Structure 1
Amino acid sequence: MLLTNSLVRTIPVAFLTLLFCCGNSAAERPAWNDSRLQGTPEPPLQLTVQRVHPNLVLRSPITAMDLPGTNRRLVLLQNGQVHTFEKRDDVAEMDLALDIDKANQTHTDELFAAARDLTLHPEFETNGYLYVVWSIRPHDVEGGTRVSRFRMTIPTADKPDADLPPNVPVIDPKSRLDLLSYPSGDHIGASLNFGPDGLLYITTGDGSLPYPPDVNKAAQDIRDLRGSVLRIDVDQTSELADGTTLPYRIPDDNPFVDVEGARGEIFAFGLRNGFRAAFDPATDDLWVADVGWERCEMVHRIVPGGNHGWSLYEGPHPVDLEQTPGPGKVILPEVVFPRSESQSITGGVFVPADLLFAADDGSLAGTYLCGCFMNGNVWAINTQSKATTGKPPVPRKIASTGLKIIDFFVSQNETTSEVLLVDHSGGIYRLSSNQSVGDYEAFPKRLSETGLFSDTKSLIPNPGVVAYRPDATMFRDGIRTVRFVGIPGQEPINPMRKRYVPGTVFANTLIRDVLDSSGNTKEIRLETQVLSYDGLNWNPTTFAWNEEQTDATLVPAMGATQTFRVDDPIWGKRDWEHRFYPRDVCVTCHNVANPGAASLVPENLRDESGPGSWSQLARAGFLVPAKVKAGHEMVNAYDVDQPLEQRARSYLHSNCAHCHRPAGGATSKMDLRHIRPLDQTALLGVPAAQGDFGLGTNTQVIEPGHPERSALIYRVATGGPGKMPRVGCSTVDLAGAKMLWDWVKSMPVAPDATESASEKPNETLQSMLLWRELVEAPPERSKKIVSEMLNDESVSHSPVVLGLLQPWIDPSERTLLVGDSPDLEALLALKGDAQRGLQWFYESAASQCRQCHRIGGLGKDVGPSLGGISKRRTRFEVLRGIVEPSEKIEPEWRSHTILTVDGELIVGRILQEDDDGVVVQQADGTHTTLRPEDIELKKSNEQSLMPAGLLSAMTPQEVADLLEFLMQTNEAGELPASN
């Protein structure tokens, strides 16, 4: 039987029999139509997105648009293919109109790189002209970026084409006319727009890799087309002095036509990577979104002849003031986004005046919309506000889409207009009113109102909501769980491919034995954690059960706590505080790398025939069928009849892999997913990146055969400095830590481990060995041993030692620690001792600071030097920086996530970036070098490499001492003589 005893007691057996015997096909699965979990309890943003053309397969689309005079839409893919299709949401097929790559190969050996943008001539319906900007390989080739004109024809009954049905457009590759070119490179722009004057405007990038910035100094050089906005007349040609003919004409009123040596095509300059532009229909001004370097993203209102700053400045921030500037005073951007808000800006369209979204008061009409390629947010900017207020316009976030926004376009017909987004991941989306705007207060306040259960008191699910039971689950201080999933409609979900039906909901009820007022044991439900999928994001909420156990009430976003009386296996009857975690904490586990329910994988629902197994749920139509690879099965980590390594790998997956996986948010390189071969987990023989805690020199994450010297075992065994996991439990899982100890002990000792094995046991090593003895001994004996140690003044009372002994220290006598939510004002009010702080920093095994920061000659340079920090930061700023390390990250210390073409994710700080590649310093201090062609995607991270919670296991006085030391020490790590 796969269901827990708790679940059997909670749900009538007759109901389970009915639920799991109602057929073997998805068509017979009852649909869940009762969900009322729409949106979130917080006020949602004004707009959302809806997928259009969901049946089309779009591989890396770059731009899309309507074809005037037809009922068709055009899309340009990054690979150079131009497709058209009927403009209806249910369209399932596209027609290839042009393949630039294939056409280019017919008459040249050039290697096609990518298409960047496409636009139609204002007289497209008459002449069929369209314009494409595209590039060739390799990087930095003279003339490697081209703006080319092609001609499209549309067969009709009057002008048939034998190979095409009527109204299917085709582009003749032989019609290609290259208008102009400029050197290719990393940042080439580029965007194409016809202005109100009928002229073609082209944005170009500076051509450089990110570092060094603008290496060619092109953006301030008006002799170079790069880093500029160009303006040409494509309807005319012009003769040059040497007798050659330009396929375009340079307008006479272009700003630099009469400047000697200047390129007359330049309309404005000083852009880094102008990416998407739009003309304001109210003023005819051109607005360009400009991708920033390290500090900010920019939106410019282009001024004819204007110097828009790069690379003298990045927005308001100086970059290279030593170079020769271009003509004119630098014009600051109209809008600057800090990197905390946007990491790669994408412009932009103006909302048509006649477009009113539902629940819109008209404030969006005429505004400029832009988005972020990296985080999917969309902002509206009132470009006219400066004229009335005299202040720069302030962006207003109106949508959070989760898309890789690479373009916007407006679709108009006789009756309606709409704004659409192009998602580089492969789709087109319509911006629409968020129907939950104004209705967030209707979000269920009680579990009984969610639609998950027909009987909340008995926890009986509604039809279409089904129970499942994973074999391996997270340790939660002795808490048991009952899990359900609700899926609307009939389509099964595919967690392996991260494919979920919108409206899918996971519900996890936490159950624990507590003591009633008479001291008797009773089982109660503590909370039900709900995770709902809106099609883009996973939204967590928590419901706390009432004393009567009949219903549960929505917990505030910031979380809550509640105290219960429990029977502790070591300390007997005592008070225990249960923490209802804030919603933001839930997202640290249920993140983009680990969506949905972390436990719902085929390996964790064993392929057995009983209720709640993967095969049964697949037969019932809830899940897609899946086979588990032999040896990858997960098991109950506490079942001693199961193989030890399977128990250990199952434990690490359930408790650690939600963060320790590619893009999971952890700052180490470990990948602890159960499916990863052990030699690819970065566990064995890898240096401990976040501190050795006094275990000894050359401490490893796992040193095979030596659990007492393995950082992983220490961190699971301790309740003090470095405790893992940080979320989900407050006590040490002694059984789990003992099992991991035995697993590491069973590993063959590495042949080269003789030196470390002979190292003299130190304080931490001795405490680790003692911990193992205490785990095996009866609780009363272990408590007696620890009590005698604490009363012995010759025994160390360091945080590391006390952390390992914590389970056997009376809870009322445990040293008061700062904890996860420190009171900053109280800590600042304490008087610290700089000399004690110095000793803690340099000598304490609990100190993790020196693993990343250098003071004087000691430490590493993964993070900035702490020497003389008082000259750069106030006392409050230093403390706040330790408590919330991701709140403010200086550009040179910001980490990046890099996706290689082979699918590997590398997280670290970029030390060097040039034409030869990128050097990345990872959290453990190691360096990785990548060539430009190895990199698929690079994004700046909002999470610091420095982990949060470093103060949680320190006493308030230790924090005050450390802070005093940091504020008094100079660059050499020395304190004033008086200290």
Structure 2
Amino acid sequence: MKVERVHPKLSLQSPITAMDLPGTERRLVLQVNGHVSTFDNRDDVEAMDLALDINEVNQTKNPDELFAAARDLTLHPNFESNGYLYVVWSIRPHDVEGGTRVSRFQMELPSKREIANAGSSDSPDLALPRIDPDSRLDLLSYPSGDHIGASLNFGPDGFLYITTGDGSLPFPPDVNKTAQNIGDLRGSVLRIDVNQTSQAADGTKLPYRIPDDNPFVDVEGARREIYAIGLRNGFRAAFDPATDDLWVADVGWEKCEMVHRIVPGGNHGWSLYEGPHPVDLEQTPGPGTVILPEVVFPRSESQSITGGVFVPPAAFDSSDNLALSEQYLCGCFMNGNVWSIDTQSKSKTGQPPVPRKIASTGLKIIDFFVSEQGPIPEVLLVDYAGGLYRLVVNESVDDSLAFPQHLSETGLFADTTSLVPNPGVVAYQPVATMFRDGIRTLRVFGVPSQEPINPVRNRYLPGTVFANTLVRDVLDSKGTPKTIRLETQVLSYDGLNWNPTTFAWNEAQTDATLVPAMGATKKFRVDDPIWGPRDWEHRFYPRDVCITCHNVANPGAASLVPENLRDATGPGSWSELAEAGHLVAAKVKAGHEMVDPADEDQSLEQRARSYLHSNCAHCHRPAGGATSKMDLRHIKPLKQTALINVPAVQGDFGLGADTLVVDPGHPERSALVYRVATGGPGKMPRVGCSAVDLEGAKLLWDWVESMSPHQEVKAVAVSDEETNQTLQAMLLWQKLSRVSPEKAKDVVADVLNQAAFSHSPVVLGLLQPWIDPSQRTLLVGDSPDADALLALEGNAQRGLQWFYESAASQCRQCHRIGGLGKELGPSLAGISKRRTRAEILRGIIDPSAKIEPEWQSHTLLTVDGDLVAGRILREDNDVVVVQQADGTQTTLHSEDIEVRKPNQQSLMPAGLLSAMTPQEVADLLEFLMQTNEAGELPVAD
């Protein structure tokens, strides 16, 4: 599906929610600044009419209060007769008691006579809806904070349901422990009757009544308004018209985004858990067994979930194959994707609902609403960036077939053999670039018109394209060195989304072919600087991996920033490109210029900061998708990067419980240095390279070592063997990185033969560069020893975390289990009932040995010569629907299919274990063996 802008001439500033205004032909919008406005529902409408300014109303009553934001608005079911509307809004600062308010206002709708007389000289505004500022009635309040929710929904029972957040900043999570506290309104779903008043226990009058069947009305110390607990930041909710169940989208913390089916009195987990992941099990839990979310999105797929509406039956043309009727829609504020969820799937199949991505909008989706003012219902999206959009069926049967299949067809190059760009496509060369296993890059970008782009302000023209050709020295069949192009990565902008694609170069180096969306691998012979000639595998990354970096927080090419080209004259400089009309002129602030990390004439700090920017800052920046709060952009002052003396919350890897990201003066104790130095657990960067960047890690070591210590050197407990071993390995790594490769290999061989030395993955990861690639036991490799893997004891909880979190995990790209993953292959839930441990392992090692008929793929050739490969989902006399390996669905007309052939090769690729440690494989197998048939994961009470 796709989106179309409605009311394109209307200027909105940070809209929060919008809706049709019953009894009129107007719409209402709430903006974050507290403005409630209405406007005519016409495509050519250019202006809104302000009905209420909540900030102004509050300033009149409480001039000392500082307005923060409006969060949601809903209308009373009897709005046309009583004019009641309800708003959630808050004041600053954090943790102000009563700083978040749910207030009722009354709107006066114009009469028919007023509408008829509107526009006269005596009463020009008679037909405009008006909100009486004196009608404000504060229903209830809770402390202000960062995550305050909130969503307002009237249920089928006529009661008002309110979602609240835990009120905390991201770090530390749920600092006030509100979400498990039934004596606190935060982190919950509330339920009140706004049609009646009542008396509180202390005798004060309440402007609402608490329903008698609320779950905690008889529990001592509980807030009786609470309907369910355990939410982090419930943001947008909807009632299922088929069951009256309330579905809430819940913004996650570090690992996932969640969608809950709310259970009365239910404990939905936070902050004991984030979805299935333990967070803080030491706190006092609230009542009830933890209820897992119905749907969990990994952070690689969604970074800030927004619910949600149920699609009316007549909303979309019944001829389309999307089958969206009565399904729940939710979206992502960060990447603009939209998913549909069949909330009835568990009752139909016994399996958890499977989210299906139906659109990539590129919008900052803050809300959905259904409009019924036209001939058929429409689903609309509210874009926080300032617009309203209609969700419509894409008329194109399959866009992927129209996309260029070869680099020569993209229009970027006049001659792909010599890589000569076409006019309008220009080369640029950053000062600092990513480490890519010895790969070099050739970069160009193209702008579709004479108007320059402005990467500094993230302003790009539709049709802007970046292309990055990866070049490496390899050995031919005779061992002779030669330089080849491996791939060209293309990033194109369609006006909403950045779309990544990859083209793999042919042997003749004359052209490159489009790589499947799921990626690929290819082996080459290279001259390793430590081990000499050896085989090396190059990975063409899946497009979903590319999107984790090229998202709304980091659009365009991460390398094209003024500080990385510098404002200097000469070929490829920012000034030259600006003078030629390709870029907007920009000045670089003194001291912010990036340098080549290998340039020893530059300062250690400049080199290290440039290295961190080019290798890490595409994720480690605000909303970049990383799970830490670091901001490693070069423009940020060091004290604002969250590097120095900040606890390493993502794991200490044996360095000690009080490990810091950067411990000044002590690189051997710094998690940052460890993670760049290791080839094992916790390796960074996760994407782009397989080898350890020894020069980069040495640079970071020297930089941290040059810092003045900020604290006393921590004593290492002699009894703490793991900590001693890790620190010893770090210190040994430092020595090995400074000597010749031959000497380092001899030292490591001797150390590994010492019985007292640890052979843990952490230690072996640090020594990996000097262990013969053919002898490394850290990774399973391409020839797994099934018997040895089956003999290892696994841990189910670690296996869950690997399945869900690891960048190397590809299982969830095709399989679902316990609400996780996708449905491109069979569900793994309850697989232990169908297969033994050994059968599961053999199925992973050789997936094509046995293919169940319903999961067999086919190759179809159309009369136009197009090849489509995938699993046949549905076919009748007219069409065949094919699900391809990347999850996309292609509909072909039966009469257009010339050849149809079953494939003997599984859609599941071989070699999935090669990048795993043996222990990770054992943990994964144990995880798969412990899940039940409903896909439920073992969770403690």
Matched, 1:421 2:396: no
Pick aligned residue for 2:490 from 530, 540, 544: 530
Please name the residue that 1:181 is paired with. Answer: 139
Unaligned 5+ runs, structure 2: 168-173, 199-204, 219-224, 719-723, 813-912, 930-941
> Match for 2:139: what amino acid?
S
Once residues 764 and 708 of structure 1 are traced to their aligned partners in structure 2, the CA distance between those partners, rounded to angstroms, is 9
Once residues 763 and 284 of structure 2 are traced to their aligned partners in structure 1, the CA distance between those partners, rounded to angstroms, is 54
* SS of alignment partner, residue 789 of structure 2: helix
Once residues 40 and 212 of structure 2 are traced to their aligned partners in structure 1, the CA distance between those partners, rounded to angstroms, is 43
Following TM superposition, by how much is the alpha carbon of 1:625 offset from its aligned partner in structure 2, in angstroms?
A: 2.5
Change (3 A) 1:87 1:452: farther
Please name the residue that 1:150 is paired with. Answer: 107
Once residues 885 and 164 of structure 1 are traced to their aligned partners in structure 2, the CA distance between those partners, rounded to angstroms, is 67
Matched, 1:510 2:496: no
Mean CA deviation greater in 671-680 or 343-352: 343-352
Mean CA deviation greater in 369-378 or 465-474: 369-378
Q: Is the contact between residue 107 and residue 129 of structure 2 (CA under 8 Å) also seen in structure 1? A: no
Change (3 A) 1:682 1:724: same
Please name the residue that 1:469 is paired with. Answer: 429
Within a 5 Å distance, the mapping from 1:29-428 to structure 2 comes to 47-53=1-7, 56-67=10-21, 72-88=26-42, 93-107=47-61, 111=65, 115=70, 117-118=72-73, 129=83, 131-134=85-88, 141=98, 145-153=102-110, 158-160=117-119, 169=128, 171=130, 173=132, 176=135, 178=137, 181-184=139-142, 191=152, 202-205=160-163, 211-213=177-179, 215=181, 227-228=190-191, 230=193, 232=195, 270=227, 288-290=246-248, 297-299=259-261, 308-310=264-266, 336-338=294-296, 349=309, 351-357=311-317, 360-361=320-321, 363-365=323-325, 369=329, 378-380=338-340, 397-401=357-361, 403=363, 405-412=365-372, 415=375, 417-424=377-384, 426-428=386-388
Change (3 A) 1:457 1:590: same
Following TM superposition, by how much is the alpha carbon of 1:650 offset from its aligned partner in structure 2, in angstroms?
A: 1.4
Once residues 631 and 641 of structure 1 are traced to their aligned partners in structure 2, the CA distance between those partners, rounded to angstroms, is 16
Please name the residue that 2:550 is paired with. Answer: 590
Change (3 A) 1:481 1:130: same
After superposition, give the CA deviation of every residue in 1:14-49 in whole Å (9 maximum; x if it has no partner): xxxxxxxxxxxxxxxxxxxxxxxxxxxxxxxxx233
Following TM superposition, by how much is the alpha carbon of 1:784 offset from its aligned partner in structure 2, in angstroms?
A: 5.4
> Match for 2:615: what amino acid?
N
Q: Is the contact between residue 180 and residue 286 of structure 2 (CA under 8 Å) also seen in structure 1? A: no
Please name the residue that 2:789 is paired with. Answer: 828
Once residues 356 and 509 of structure 1 are traced to their aligned partners in structure 2, the CA distance between those partners, rounded to angstroms, is 42
Please name the residue that 2:859 is paired with. Answer: none
> Match for 1:507: what amino acid?
A
Change (3 A) 1:434 1:162: same
Matched, 1:647 2:607: yes
Within a 5 Å distance, the mapping from 1:682-761 to structure 2 comes to 682-684=642-644, 712-713=672-673, 715-717=675-677, 723-744=683-704, 747=706, 749-750=708-709
Following TM superposition, by how much is the alpha carbon of 1:82 offset from its aligned partner in structure 2, in angstroms?
A: 1.5
Where relative contact order (Cα < 8 A, 6+ residues apart) is larger, the structure is 1
After superposition, give the CA deviation of every residue in 1:541-567 in whole Å (9 maximum; x if it has no partner): 322100111111222344333333334
Once residues 152 and 203 of structure 1 are traced to their aligned partners in structure 2, the CA distance between those partners, rounded to angstroms, is 25
> Match for 1:546: what amino acid?
N
> Match for 1:828: what amino acid?
L
Please name the residue that 1:576 is paired with. Answer: 536
Please name the residue that 2:778 is paired with. Answer: 817
Following TM superposition, by how much is the alpha carbon of 1:727 offset from its aligned partner in structure 2, in angstroms?
A: 3.2
Once residues 665 and 633 of structure 2 are traced to their aligned partners in structure 1, the CA distance between those partners, rounded to angstroms, is 22
Please name the residue that 2:749 is paired with. Answer: 790
Mean CA deviation greater in 400-409 or 577-586: 400-409
Once residues 961 and 422 of structure 1 are traced to their aligned partners in structure 2, the CA distance between those partners, rounded to angstroms, is 43
Q: Is the contact between residue 523 and residue 537 of structure 2 (CA under 8 Å) also seen in structure 1? A: yes
Please name the residue that 1:848 is paired with. Answer: none
Pick aligned residue for 2:391 from 420, 431, 439: 431
> Match for 1:191: what amino acid?
L
Pick aligned residue for 1:612 from 572, 581, 603: 572
Once residues 755 and 279 of structure 1 are traced to their aligned partners in structure 2, the CA distance between those partners, rounded to angstroms, is 55
Q: Is the contact between residue 205 and residue 271 of structure 1 (CA under 8 Å) also seen in structure 2? A: no
Following TM superposition, by how much is the alpha carbon of 1:255 offset from its aligned partner in structure 2, in angstroms?
A: 9.5
Change (3 A) 1:432 1:827: farther
Once residues 826 and 692 of structure 1 are traced to their aligned partners in structure 2, the CA distance between those partners, rounded to angstroms, is 32
Once residues 656 and 544 of structure 1 are traced to their aligned partners in structure 2, the CA distance between those partners, rounded to angstroms, is 25
Please name the residue that 2:871 is paired with. Answer: none
Change (3 A) 1:269 1:503: same
Q: Is the contact between residue 798 and residue 923 of structure 2 (CA under 8 Å) also seen in structure 1? A: no
Q: Could you tell me the TM-score, scaled by structure 2's length?
A: 0.65
Following TM superposition, by how much is the alpha carbon of 1:482 offset from its aligned partner in structure 2, in angstroms?
A: 0.7
Following TM superposition, by how much is the alpha carbon of 1:509 offset from its aligned partner in structure 2, in angstroms?
A: 0.3
After superposition, give the CA deviation of every residue in 1:459-494 in whole Å (9 maximum; x if it has no partner): 233344332211111122322111122344555433
Q: Is the contact between residue 514 and residue 565 of structure 1 (CA under 8 Å) also seen in structure 2? A: yes
Change (3 A) 1:470 1:93: farther
Please name the residue that 1:939 is paired with. Answer: none
After superposition, give the CA deviation of every residue in 1:512-544 in whole Å (9 maximum; x if it has no partner): 223334544332111112233445544433221
Change (3 A) 1:462 1:831: same
Q: Is the contact between residue 698 and residue 734 of structure 2 (CA under 8 Å) also seen in structure 1? A: no
Once residues 707 and 321 of structure 1 are traced to their aligned partners in structure 2, the CA distance between those partners, rounded to angstroms, is 37
Following TM superposition, by how much is the alpha carbon of 1:635 offset from its aligned partner in structure 2, in angstroms?
A: 1.8
Within a 5 Å distance, the mapping from 1:2-17 to structure 2 comes to none
Q: Is the contact between residue 808 and residue 915 of structure 2 (CA under 8 Å) also seen in structure 1? A: no
* SS of alignment partner, residue 106 of structure 1: helix
Following TM superposition, by how much is the alpha carbon of 1:651 offset from its aligned partner in structure 2, in angstroms?
A: 1.9
Following TM superposition, by how much is the alpha carbon of 1:336 offset from its aligned partner in structure 2, in angstroms?
A: 4.0
Q: Is the contact between residue 540 and residue 583 of structure 1 (CA under 8 Å) also seen in structure 2? A: yes
Following TM superposition, by how much is the alpha carbon of 1:605 offset from its aligned partner in structure 2, in angstroms?
A: 1.1
Identity of aligned residues (%): 56
Once residues 457 and 557 of structure 1 are traced to their aligned partners in structure 2, the CA distance between those partners, rounded to angstroms, is 25
After superposition, give the CA deviation of every residue in 1:689-743 in whole Å (9 maximum; x if it has no partner): 6777788998765565666776655654555666543432334444444544554
RMSD: 5.9
After superposition, give the CA deviation of every residue in 1:869-915 in whole Å (9 maximum; x if it has no partner): x8x84997698689689999xxxxxxxxxxxxxxxxxxxxxxxxxxx
Q: Could you tell me the TM-score, scaled by structure 1's length?
A: 0.63
> Match for 2:316: what amino acid?
L
Once residues 727 and 591 of structure 1 are traced to their aligned partners in structure 2, the CA distance between those partners, rounded to angstroms, is 15
* SS of alignment partner, residue 609 of structure 2: helix
* SS of alignment partner, residue 440 of structure 1: helix
Q: Is the contact between residue 294 and residue 352 of structure 2 (CA under 8 Å) also seen in structure 1? A: no
Once residues 287 and 765 of structure 2 are traced to their aligned partners in structure 1, the CA distance between those partners, rounded to angstroms, is 60
Change (3 A) 1:606 1:164: farther
Once residues 545 and 803 of structure 1 are traced to their aligned partners in structure 2, the CA distance between those partners, rounded to angstroms, is 32
Higher alpha-carbon Rg: 1
Once residues 347 and 700 of structure 1 are traced to their aligned partners in structure 2, the CA distance between those partners, rounded to angstroms, is 37
Mean CA deviation greater in 409-418 or 955-964: 955-964
Unaligned 5+ runs, structure 1: 1-46, 220-224, 239-244, 262-267, 301-306, 776-781, 833-869, 889-950, 968-979
Change (3 A) 1:756 1:957: closer
Change (3 A) 1:110 1:190: farther
